[in-house]
Structure 1
Amino acid sequence: MRQFTAVVNPTAGGSAGVAALIPLARTLRAAGAEVEVEYSRDLDHARELARRSGERGRVVLGVGGDGMAGCVGGALAGTQALLGLVPAGRGNDFARALGLPSDPDRLADILLHGEPKAVDAIAVESAIHHGTAVLGSVYAGVDAVANRHANRSRALPGAAAYYVGGLRAVLSWRPASYRITVDGTPYERRGYTTVVANSAFYGFGRLIAPDARLDDGLLDVVVINHAPKRLFFTVMNELKTGSHIRRPQVEILRGKEVRIEADRDLPYGADGEVDATLPVTARVLPGALTVLY
């Protein structure tokens, strides 16, 4: 019988996390599993708790949204520890890519009886990230600005926060000149954003990289080049279905290592956390993480 440690951050959507965890823990315990709960002070503490629990041979449950999933999962990348996710955030994009249910009984069945599967992760190198591993994507441009606005709008529900944040970001955006180096080959581009995707989803269910796979050892690089803002709003709407990739302004590259630079200080985001600026290098870590899904 698997034994679980749930890592919850009470300062970042913790009430939703606790609400999601209570019925799940009840079902796991009824099946005979032991469930302990650890409350983290911040993301660094959550990483420490995750590593410590993984070293004890426990399944580590990241309880929250993409920030917590990336934090806990990144801490376990490259180890033998098992990761489980309890989707309880506003975006839940990595959980969506895994196909995880929100129903506690169905999720409990996966956590108790599911076969562990290896997925890729992303190592991030920048002025403040030194090999930090994340799970879903690294993105730099108007979407990172929008994400920053959304993170500061805690009073709004998930979809509304991302919509309002996106509107503010696009209206004030001026095109950025990017230098994108993929496996040593440089590309000069001018536009709205560059997204390095391990997962197909980001930004509250937007299908940014429809062909991205979690276990193919490659990163999909989605570049949205310059276009009139009215057309960009159309592209944003097409992200719901992934049809934006048919636009001539949208370019898809693939590789194992991607460096993003720009002509000005631009924020970049990693799994929903936007706390750094370019340049940044993202490198795939093939099969680095074992997940129950």
Structure 2
Amino acid sequence: MRQFTAIVNPTAGAATGAGALQRVGRLLRQAGAALETVHSRSLAHAQDLARRAGDRGRIVLAVGGDGIAGGIGGALSGTGTVLGLVPAGRGNDLARALGLPAEPSALARILLRHEPKAVDTIEVWRDGTPRTVVLGSVYAGVDALANRYANRARLLRGAASYYAGGLRAVAGWRHAAYRITVDGTVHRHRGYTVVAANSAYYGSGRMIAPGARVDDGMLDVVLIAAAPRRLFFALMNELKTGRHLARPEVRVLRGRTVRIEADRAVPWGADGEVDAVLPVTARVLPGALRMLY
């Protein structure tokens, strides 16, 4: 029977994470699985806990949102350790892309019975700093700024925090001139954002890259060009269905290595975390992580 180590991210909401794990954990134990729970003090601590659990041959469960899922997944990339998710964050976009159910019994069945599948990860580095590895997407522009505002929101949760952050970011956005190099080919772009996506969703359920797949060895690079703010908000609503791809302001490239530069200090983020400005380089690592979904 499987042995699990669940890593809970207190910053994502201790009550939410503990409650989600309690419901799923009870079902895992009833089925005969072993489950231990540890609480991380920081993302770096969560990554260290995950590596140590993997060294003991345990399946690691990331309990929280996209930040801890991407951070732990990046730490386990290339190690052979199996990762499972217990979604309990604000966005849960990776869980959405993987088709993970919210209902505890359905999620427990996946964790207990499904065989691990290989998914791609993204190696990310900026000039002069050590590389990191993430899972979902790397984005540079107004969305990174909106996500920064959402992460700092104290009174709003979930999609509401992203919506409020988006309004604030777009209201003060000044279009950037980007230089995007995809597998050695340079593309010029002026506008709102550039997203190198390994999975379809970001920003709490927005389908930014409908064609992106976690196991195809490619990144879908979505460019949203300069447009009036009213049109931009209409386009944002279309992210729910993927209709935005039909707009002339939206362009999609595909490649394995993407470098994003800009004419000013544009913020960029990955898997819900924002802490840097351009330039940044992202490279897909095909099949580098084993996951249960």
Q: With structure 2 as the length reference, what TM-score do the two structures score?
A: 0.98
Which amino acid in structure 1 is aligned with residue 233 of structure 2? F
In structure 2, relative to structure 1, the CA distance for the partners of 1:126 and 1:287 (3 Å cut) is: same
Displaced runs of 4 or more, over 6 A: none
Q: State the partner residue of 1:4.
A: 4
CA distance in 2, matches of 1:9, 1:15: 10
Q: Does 1:60 align with 2:42?
A: no
CA distance in 1, matches of 2:30, 2:286: 36
Give the total of aligned pairs: 293
Cα deviation code 1:121-152 (max 9, x no counterpart): 10001147522110000000000000000000
- The 8 Å contact of residues 194 and 223 in structure 2, kept in 1 or not, is answered as yes
Q: Does 1:212 align with 2:212?
A: yes
Q: Please give the residue correspondences for 1:1-293 in structure 2 after superposition, counting only pairs within 5 Å.
A: 1-127=1-127, 130-293=130-293
Identity rate of aligned residues, in percent?
68
CA distance in 2, matches of 1:130, 1:183: 21
After superposition, the CA RMSD in angstroms is 0.9
Cα deviation code 1:86-143 (max 9, x no counterpart): 0001100000000001111111110011011001010001147522110000000000
Offset at residue 50 of structure 1 (A): 0.6
SS at match of 2:131: strand
Cα deviation code 1:234-277 (max 9, x no counterpart): 11111111100110000000000000001111111100000111
CA distance in 2, matches of 1:279, 1:179: 10
- The 8 Å contact of residues 128 and 276 in structure 1, kept in 2 or not, is answered as no
Cα deviation code 1:180-223 (max 9, x no counterpart): 00001111110000000000000000000000011110000000
In structure 2, relative to structure 1, the CA distance for the partners of 1:14 and 1:127 (3 Å cut) is: farther
In the alignment, structure 1 segments of 5+ residues that lack a partner are none
Q: With structure 1 as the length reference, what TM-score do the two structures score?
A: 0.98
CA distance in 2, matches of 1:162, 1:265: 22
Offset at residue 12 of structure 1 (A): 2.9
In the alignment, structure 2 segments of 5+ residues that lack a partner are none
CA distance in 1, matches of 2:167, 2:284: 31
Offset at residue 157 of structure 1 (A): 1.8
- The 8 Å contact of residues 50 and 72 in structure 1, kept in 2 or not, is answered as yes
- The 8 Å contact of residues 182 and 258 in structure 1, kept in 2 or not, is answered as yes
Which amino acid in structure 1 is aligned with residue 42 of structure 2? D
Which amino acid in structure 1 is aligned with residue 121 of structure 2? A
SS at match of 1:11: helix
Offset at residue 166 of structure 1 (A): 0.3
- The 8 Å contact of residues 8 and 40 in structure 1, kept in 2 or not, is answered as yes
Offset at residue 279 of structure 1 (A): 0.5
Offset at residue 154 of structure 1 (A): 3.0
SS at match of 2:286: strand
CA distance in 1, matches of 2:201, 2:69: 14
